Structure 1
């Protein structure tokens, strides 16, 4: 054996040694982190069983069952074969004498951190039935959905179920969320038009990982993984939002007319358009288009606001920042007045305080009451055709 052979073998052994130390150290760090968090800082475990759809956006994994665990509640989430959090499957054709209410939203309409009977969907079903109406409430909500994705979901799938009423969820997070997907762009008249693109961030990787029982156990039970995932998710979201803001700013600049480009600074009114102004304007355009699309199909359309939770037990409305036309504004429903009447020291409060700030049973109850009151106030005959005999 030559000296070079001895040197290579020594280098290989040293590489194996250090590689083994790195692997053992990594395993030790993960185990230590898991034990530390379980004992001193328990994490919220909120797995999301999401996959891709044939029309280019995210959807719930059909027939999936998973747990959500927080210091406040243990919830089992069941998704039906159509990718909806419903306790039934829906035929495309409505049963005679039945009204359908389609929900389009994110984790609030999905009912995260709530048992099914306490979600907005479950409460709409039970309360309207108690009022003497035959209704079905297919739930097209997907955690993390933007208004762009809700609009694509409506145009590609919701409309095929022939709902009588469409309720689109709005919340503060939609302003930034709508900067990421790139599913629509504004035409010369300022109307969002489909780009033909898709938005499936990380879906291929997630689909591969979800085939592993170990990974499914990890996302449901590991405190250490949950902490890492939340940090990574927020970081990537912020990056995608920044990219989306820049993309739309460039598109807006390129869309200016040649005359506007060449106008002198003394003749042209100078306006500073902030990213937030761009986000609110675009979200408003999407909501107004959503209403138009629904009414073209002969459906009643409503927007429901999810009040934003701040620190402590404070919350507020961001619907006032929207720039909606009169026809759309007339169909905005908000639970703010009911929330304001709710005692601040009540237990449970309206939002989960040790989880991901979704509605408690009380919050979902008031939200459902606001929805029912708002629908009947705006369209008194909305469910007249589905009264129980």
Structure 2
């Protein structure tokens, strides 16, 4: 029966195989598994992923202590930040780092704290508990349209008396279930090779999201909503405050929402657009809409071309920020 189902899926409902390799972290949020080495296989690409001993997508170990003459670019994000659909060198953060390195006299080092599924709330905890230890020189936080709902679903923070307060101790959707499955013989092989398993996993993830949406009385089409927008703004103010304690600039990178093949939307709340340094590729994507910018059959992440455009825009803004920081006041 299992063999028949696998054959049916491969013939009629071909699935991308994108193992996430995520586990429980020590701060109550998900982290990438350390020292993982796995492959994403889809209709469009085959990409290898490696993580170091800290779970960062990187070829090498990166100590907390920063070397002399080094500029550290720290990224907080989700699967887009992790670089799904792209090799390490093709990912927008590494393309940006390469451009920046040609314009400053220091070595540029990427600290990628992205984890697939992260919301702004999880980014904040990751920065507070781990990111600051790396002594970053500039922080980039990605904004994705799902963050509005996921910040609320997680229950990690809420607004209280006009301020932001920590609420839930942990948010680990799907982690316990995955830990149980990993004790089953051949589970790892199935997760990395079976399209039938990928089919079941993706539908299970959609079901979990639906349950979370119902639990929090959040409509799938509820839009920004004033309370969700206020929470998102408060989280970014806290990100900025955390960065500011170490005198580190913060840039917010918008991930445009793809509406159709040649149409894109900026879903970022106006309060964030107006109060933070924002890089928004939406206009650039529209100008280059004849190019393939998002993988259309592989879960919709950036293609190498999409990554390159984002990397170029981000690099320009990083260089501007560096020059402004170095300008005598």
Q: How high is the TM-score relative to the length of structure 2?
A: 0.92
State the alpha-carbon separation in 2 of the partners of residues 383 and 108 from structure 1: 30
State the alpha-carbon separation in 2 of the partners of residues 383 and 206 from structure 1: 47
Q: How does 1:1-389 map to 2 (within 5 A)?
A: 28=1, 30-132=2-104, 133-189=106-162, 191-195=163-167, 197-212=169-184, 214-245=186-217, 276-319=225-268, 321-324=269-272, 326=274, 328-329=275-276, 331-342=277-288, 344-346=289-291, 349-382=292-325
Larger helix percent: 1
In the TM superposition, residue 381 of structure 1 has moved relative to its aligned partner by 4.3
Query: How many correspondences in the alignment?
Result: 323
**Contiguous gaps of at least 5 residues in structure 1:** 1-27, 247-272, 385-389
| CA distances 1:297-348 after superposition (whole Å, capped 9, x unpaired) | 21111111000112333221112x342385x33x111112321221x333xx
- Give the superposed CA RMSD: 2.1
In the TM superposition, residue 162 of structure 1 has moved relative to its aligned partner by 1.0
In the TM superposition, residue 125 of structure 1 has moved relative to its aligned partner by 3.1
**Contiguous gaps of at least 5 residues in structure 2:** none
Larger strand percent: 2
In the TM superposition, residue 73 of structure 1 has moved relative to its aligned partner by 0.3
State the alpha-carbon separation in 2 of the partners of residues 129 and 304 from structure 1: 19
State the alpha-carbon separation in 2 of the partners of residues 107 and 92 from structure 1: 24
8 Å Cα contact 1:45/1:223 also seen in 2: yes
State the alpha-carbon separation in 2 of the partners of residues 108 and 382 from structure 1: 28
In the TM superposition, residue 56 of structure 1 has moved relative to its aligned partner by 0.6
8 Å Cα contact 1:179/1:241 also seen in 2: no
Tell me which moved more, 370-379 or 287-296: 370-379
8 Å Cα contact 2:94/2:311 also seen in 1: no
Q: How high is the TM-score relative to the length of structure 1?
A: 0.78
In the TM superposition, residue 175 of structure 1 has moved relative to its aligned partner by 0.8
| Bigger Rg, structure 1 or 2 | 1
Q: Residues 383 and 57 (structure 1 numbering): CA distance in 2 closer, same or farther, change over 3 Å?
A: farther
In the TM superposition, residue 145 of structure 1 has moved relative to its aligned partner by 0.3
- Corresponding residue for 1:11? none
| CA distances 1:149-188 after superposition (whole Å, capped 9, x unpaired) | 0001111111111111111110111111111111112121
| CA distances 1:76-135 after superposition (whole Å, capped 9, x unpaired) | 111111100012211111101111111000000100011111012321332223334411
Structure 1 residue ranges, 4+ long, deviating more than 4 angstroms after superposition: 381-384
State the alpha-carbon separation in 2 of the partners of residues 276 and 235 from structure 1: 23
State the alpha-carbon separation in 2 of the partners of residues 354 and 74 from structure 1: 13
In the TM superposition, residue 196 of structure 1 has moved relative to its aligned partner by 5.5
